[in-house]
Structure 1
Amino acid sequence: MSHTTDGRRPRAAGRRRPRTAWWVSGGAAVLVAAFVALDAADIVPGPFTTAPQIEVDALPSPGAIDPEAEAAAAPLPADAPIPSGLDEIVEPIFEDAELSGRWSYDIRDALTGDVLLARDEQTAHTPASVTKVLTGAAALGALGADRRFTTRALVDAPPAEAVAGADTGADSGTGADPGADSTGPATVHLVGGGDVLLGPGENDPDAVMGRAGLTTLAQDTAAALTESGITQVTVSADLSRYSGDGWHAGWERPDIESGYITPIVPLMQESGYSEPNERYSSRHEDAAAVATDSFASALADAGADAGLEVVVAEPSAAPSGASELAAVESAPVSQLVEFMLVHSDNVVAEVLGREVALATDREASAAEAPSAVIDALASQDLDTGSIALQDTSGLDYGNRISAGDLTTIIEASAQAEGDLSMLVPAMPVAAFSGTLAPRYTSDETESGAGVVHAKTGSLATVSSLSGTVVTADDRLLVFSMMADEMDRGTSDEARLAFDTALARIAECGCG
């Protein structure tokens, strides 16, 4: 049964920070997220459906954070009353829901860390896409909010030497000549650096998907080739950054056609989607080939006046002596984390997991990324005792975490002053953005609109929600609600119970 805990939850060493600073950073962060969501309210997914096994969301390109909105955000009052009697509000809702399977929740005051209401909070559940909260926290900690991923175009010998070989007729047996003479075309290696949100067009500085554009990279590459006198090139993708075939044993191949996932490689265009602006688009099974073809086509167009001939070859690693012709950079990790959480993008989550693995001196593979995420969380003094991960996106039913440990991560973000503080504001906003856009719109739940910021999780037998809610008294609470092992077709009941309970808490003037 549910129980209320009056004592403070034990905290890991080194986690405490000045309360005044936290309330400014944590409260403002929540309000910033609301402003950003309102600014993006014209990009709202269609009606929510539970027919697919896993949540899939539309993928419009989120705009950059509005600096005027950020300046307008104000902190929540530190002396706002802490709600009491939440058991009388929450427990009847769950009892009336008659949920199948197992369910837990953990609700705390964000400022003090006091547990206000909890039920089986130490029981580990299948989290579904709430796994992305762990991946986002790990990425912000291990990579840093400002880290960007670079996609490069390399040629397999310095262009200047190629020109010299062509001009003088020098023997090309030294390997210095990549093909500017009659020995054949040079090889341009398109080196994947972990940016799977490459756009097919020119760089878009106001976008996350498409911040780096393959056309811009091709134009700069063509200019460098023309200057070097190279007129024939073979384009080959270098996918050596990640290990393995990119596929996880816990995923289903039909999920590629359904748009949930695709084999993970460090080079993709628009997250591998075939129709990125459609709500339920399939993904390309060979996403790297699509990006390579886009680059090669743009390269041919850009070099047409110089007579550049372009042929696409099979993927191959660039040799150590290859020289850089051009490069483009992704949006920073902070915005990639926001994209991943708002759109529940499994591909971005899996890529961030592999990048965390690289940052912690592990192999960037499906096998190593989950443990790298857990280690990155532990290095931030976060409790990882209940966490067991099979993947970093939440598609695998074998993932496990308790509501208690999940809420601890949310609490740490709310209290943080550094990069981890960006986690909570990156979450969907009830009735306004991402996977929460179609929720909190009914008479029963509309009180939570705009004041619930949370990551959703949904599988056929799983429903979860974790984030923050602001009460009518302006008190910030952190929470996690999880249900798994449910009868198929009953996840709506758990989702409605979560939303209704949080809506009642949001309208609570029960300090």
Structure 2
Amino acid sequence: MSAVPPPPGPPPGVLPAPARRRRRLPLAVLATVLLLVLVGAGLAVVRPGPVAGWLGADRVAPEATADAAEPAPVPVLAGADPGAPAPTPDGVRAALDPLVRAPELGSRVNVSVADVADGGSLYARGGDDGTVPASVTKLATAVTVLAARGPSYRIPTRAVAGTNPGEVVLVGGGDPTLAVDGDGFYPGAARLDDLAQQVKHALGGTEPTKVTVDSSLFPGPVHGPGWDSDIPTGGFGAAITALMTDGARTDPEAARKNFDDMHGWAQRSAQPDLAAGGAFARLLGLSGDAAEVRRGRAPAANGAPAGTVTPGAELGRVESLPMIRLVDIMISDSDNVIAEALARQVALARNQPGSFAGGAAAMDAVIGELGLPADEITLSDASGLSRANRISPSLLTDLVTLAGNGSHPELAAIFGGLPVAAWSGTLDGRYQATGTTAGAGVVRAKTGTLTGVHAIAGLVTTRDGRLLTFAVLTDEAPAGTPDETRRALDRITSALAACGCR
């Protein structure tokens, strides 16, 4: 395949994160990856426990059996001291007040800092004010989908018999990571070539004659309200359909190889469901006019005995990676397409339409169910591409505290993908400037960036070993100074790392 041509420059609405080193782990390691569980006053780095079940311990990837045994994973972050002295509000205020007034942050800087041990507020500046969150929206997406679906849930993609002999209907269940074959973008993803083999076996002597795609699970607009005009045609978002392959990337191999250089940008299909259907038709051996696919609805199953090929009978099924892994990828790569797909899973779990509006309504409902202030979040999408989104900093610190205090163990899955300062993800190239190095290795956070919007939210361990959660959002940052604004944010979180704040 030819390489994806680079975009002419950063889209005006979305600023790329600094180039980052990709640390993809073999699936065998992912099955035993350490979970960061925040319990009480500290961060404990522990063995998986229920994570093995969430990941599907009984499912062994074919490639895992052929590789040499992987060494046992080791902790990369030290645990926090549960007996560490707590900072005081006055101490935190003295450390942060001069930094939040930095001109690089602009005229509206809203901040919340809290103690993970008890959730108590240590600092608030516009803490309850709705602010454009950009990609830190994905923290809310992660918490709500884990609460609604659970860490072990897998998204199915099915093939059923159509109304005509040999007709196969490919039914999208909303898995954005589905691959065509072994060269897909997301390691370990479900594959259409596996599904095609199941279909051929189920059809027996009947030759496939036609493929219809059913992507009706996601109704409504395919582009989000409040998206900048370049997003539908740019490479950081995509048309959101219930059936797609490789996050709608047209050349997943090139996108994978060029991820760092392109900051995650990739050419996307304008009609991902039809593109996936076309690939499936070719895998079934169809060509020419027979390989031309159209949208339609899968017929209802008529209750015939299993193995009988009648309209609506299931011919095959593949399932996505477990939700815990999808959340991990969404956060670590800041994957906008996965975020929008996961919001629709929240909607479906709460009997809402699988649409932008349905996802937003369902996420709001789940936040309320968790006992958090749902009136402090207003969403138009789940990725943070929309400028119509509003989230308060205090709600973000509430979400992190709830995920980390042990009351909802399933929510702790959000921490596995959080970038580590000066080490991974969108924080890889940060925390190296003067005044920021104290945060290196001890800040774990999700970042967000749109033109004029900069945000960071996550965790930091203080010099005394106390675990804090923070959210700093500015949505009126000066134009043309993104690097300076990021460094100003890093100075704030590094100040928390460096001080006892008592």
TM-score (norm 1): 0.78
Amino acid at match of 2:250: S
Q: Does 1:224 align with 2:230?
A: no
Distance 1:411 1:213, change over 3 A: same
> For residues 475 and 266 of structure 2, what CA distance do their matches in structure 1 show?
27
Q: Does 1:389 align with 2:379?
A: yes
Candidates 206, 213, 221, aligned match of 2:191: 213
Report if aligned partners of 1:105, 1:480 keep a CA contact under 8 Å in 2: yes
Q: Does 1:327 align with 2:317?
A: yes
Secondary structure at the aligned position of 1:327 is classed as: strand
Give the equivalent residue in structure 1 for 2:243: 267
> For residues 440 and 194 of structure 2, what CA distance do their matches in structure 1 show?
40
Q: CA deviation at 1:254?
A: 2.6
Distance 1:288 1:443, change over 3 A: same
Secondary structure at the aligned position of 1:440 is classed as: coil
Candidates 279, 282, 288, aligned match of 2:267: 282
> For residues 230 and 176 of structure 2, what CA distance do their matches in structure 1 show?
21
Report if aligned partners of 2:225, 2:388 keep a CA contact under 8 Å in 1: no
> For residues 335 and 486 of structure 1, what CA distance do their matches in structure 2 show?
33
Report if aligned partners of 1:366, 1:391 keep a CA contact under 8 Å in 2: yes
Report if aligned partners of 2:225, 2:381 keep a CA contact under 8 Å in 1: no
Give the equivalent residue in structure 2 for 1:190: 170
Amino acid at match of 1:117: Y
User: How do 1:335-374 and structure 2 match up within 5 A?
Assistant: 335-374=325-364
Give the equivalent residue in structure 1 for 2:117: 111
Q: CA deviation at 1:51?
A: 6.7
Distance 1:377 1:289, change over 3 A: same
Query: Gaps spanning 5+ residues in structure 2: where?
Result: 1-8, 35-45, 48-73, 302-311
Q: Does 1:201 align with 2:181?
A: yes
Report if aligned partners of 1:453, 1:468 keep a CA contact under 8 Å in 2: yes
> For residues 199 and 330 of structure 2, what CA distance do their matches in structure 1 show?
30
Report if aligned partners of 2:11, 2:234 keep a CA contact under 8 Å in 1: no
Give the equivalent residue in structure 2 for 1:53: 13
> For residues 145 and 219 of structure 1, what CA distance do their matches in structure 2 show?
28
Distance 1:98 1:190, change over 3 A: closer
Amino acid at match of 1:130: V
For the pair shown, which has the larger CA radius of gyration, 1 or 2? 1
Distance 1:63 1:447, change over 3 A: farther
Report if aligned partners of 1:203, 1:210 keep a CA contact under 8 Å in 2: no
> For residues 410 and 103 of structure 2, what CA distance do their matches in structure 1 show?
38
Q: CA deviation at 1:188?
A: 0.6
Q: Deviations over 1:158-206 (max 9, x none)?
A: xxxxxxxxxxxxxxxxxxxx42xxxxxx2111110111101221499xx
Secondary structure at the aligned position of 1:117 is classed as: strand
Q: CA deviation at 1:244?
A: 1.6
Give the equivalent residue in structure 2 for 1:22: none
Query: Gaps spanning 5+ residues in structure 1: where?
Result: 1-48, 158-177, 180-185
Give the equivalent residue in structure 2 for 1:235: 211
Q: CA deviation at 1:121?
A: 0.9
Q: CA deviation at 1:236?
A: 1.4
User: How do 1:66-465 and structure 2 match up within 5 A?
Assistant: 67=32, 69=34, 71=47, 72-73=74-75, 75-84=79-88, 85-97=91-103, 99-156=105-162, 178-179=164-165, 186-202=166-182, 208-225=186-203, 228-275=204-251, 276-277=255-256, 278=258, 279=262, 280-300=265-285, 311-321=291-301, 322-416=312-406, 417-465=408-456
Q: CA deviation at 1:55?
A: 4.5
Secondary structure at the aligned position of 1:482 is classed as: strand
Report if aligned partners of 1:472, 1:506 keep a CA contact under 8 Å in 2: yes
Q: CA deviation at 1:288?
A: 1.4
Distance 1:266 1:377, change over 3 A: same
Report if aligned partners of 2:111, 2:124 keep a CA contact under 8 Å in 1: yes
Amino acid at match of 1:347: V
Distance 1:222 1:60, change over 3 A: farther
Q: CA deviation at 1:481?
A: 0.4
Q: Deviations over 1:102-127 (max 9, x none)?
A: 00111111102222222121221111
Distance 1:56 1:148, change over 3 A: farther
TM-score (norm 2): 0.79
Report if aligned partners of 1:135, 1:373 keep a CA contact under 8 Å in 2: yes
> For residues 399 and 266 of structure 1, what CA distance do their matches in structure 2 show?
23
Q: CA deviation at 1:299?
A: 2.2
Extract structure 1 runs of 4+ deviating beyond 4 A: 49-52, 55-64, 72-75, 207-210
Distance 1:376 1:493, change over 3 A: same
Give the equivalent residue in structure 2 for 1:17: none
Secondary structure at the aligned position of 2:167 is classed as: strand
Number of matched pairs? 429
> For residues 341 and 11 of structure 2, what CA distance do their matches in structure 1 show?
27
Q: CA deviation at 1:237?
A: 1.1
